[in-house]
């Protein structure tokens, strides 16, 4: 369910949240800069269409084909509710997702739970390194923004 359903909680928050700018261009730029500085291959960081499903089950083969046909690149059961809540509060948002479930569903699809677990086990070092670099860039962005405001 959409986390914004229900009674309007504050007159200071938008009732109907525009999402055409849900993801911050400046934060996305920092993410790509971090990947560049780490010399990660282009395939390590990509942008695409994230289809949100409520779960708690993996999609069926028919649902996977439907999501692919409407333009989804990946599917997930989280992330989007958090983005909606953050944007409602006026926060800048960037999303990093470890993709383990591409919307490419073979006819013999049953469950990919084990494949997902195997993918996650292979990625921790790269993810830690990337997020560390990203946090350093965020720190410098915040530090220099504050310093510039004081001196400019």
Q: Which tops the pLDDT comparison, 2 or 24?
A: 24
Write 13-20 long-range contacts (CB < 8 A, 24+): 13/88, 13/89, 14/88, 17/84, 17/87, 17/88, 19/84, 19/87
* pLDDT reported for residue 82: 92
CA 78, 81, 85, 90 dihedral sign is positive
User: Looking at residues 60-81, what average pLDDT do you find?
Assistant: 87
* pLDDT reported for residue 9: 80
Length of the chain: 152
Percentage of the chain lying above the pLDDT 70 cut? 78
CA 31, 32, 34, 35 dihedral sign is positive
Q: Which tops the pLDDT comparison, 71 or 99?
A: 71
At 110, list the tokens. 């049953």
- With bands split at pLDDT 50, 70 and 90, how would you rate the model's confidence at 149? low
* pLDDT reported for residue 147: 65
Percentage of the chain lying above the pLDDT 90 cut? 11
Q: Which domains does the chain have, with CATH numbers?
A: 25-151 (3.40.50.1580)
* pLDDT reported for residue 77: 87
């Amino acid at each position: 369910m959409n986390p914004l359903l229900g009674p309007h909680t504050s007159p200071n928050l938008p009732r109907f949240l525009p999402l055409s700018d849900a993801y911050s261009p400046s934060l996305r730029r920092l993410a790509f800069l971090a990947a560049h500085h780490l010399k990660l291959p282009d395939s390590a960081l990509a942008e695409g269409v994230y289809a949100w499903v409520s779960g708690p089950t993996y999609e069926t083969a028919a649902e996977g084909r439907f999501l692919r046909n409407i333009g989804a690149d990946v599917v997930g059961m989280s992330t989007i509710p958090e983005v909606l809540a953050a944007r409602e509060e006026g926060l800048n948002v960037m999303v990093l997702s470890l993709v383990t479930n591409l919307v490419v569903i073979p006819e013999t699809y049953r469950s990919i739970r084990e494949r997902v677990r195997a993918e996650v086990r292979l990625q921790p070092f790269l993810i830690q390194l990337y997020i560390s670099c990203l946090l350093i860039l965020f720190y410098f962005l915040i530090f220099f923004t504050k310093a510039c405001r004081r001196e400019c």
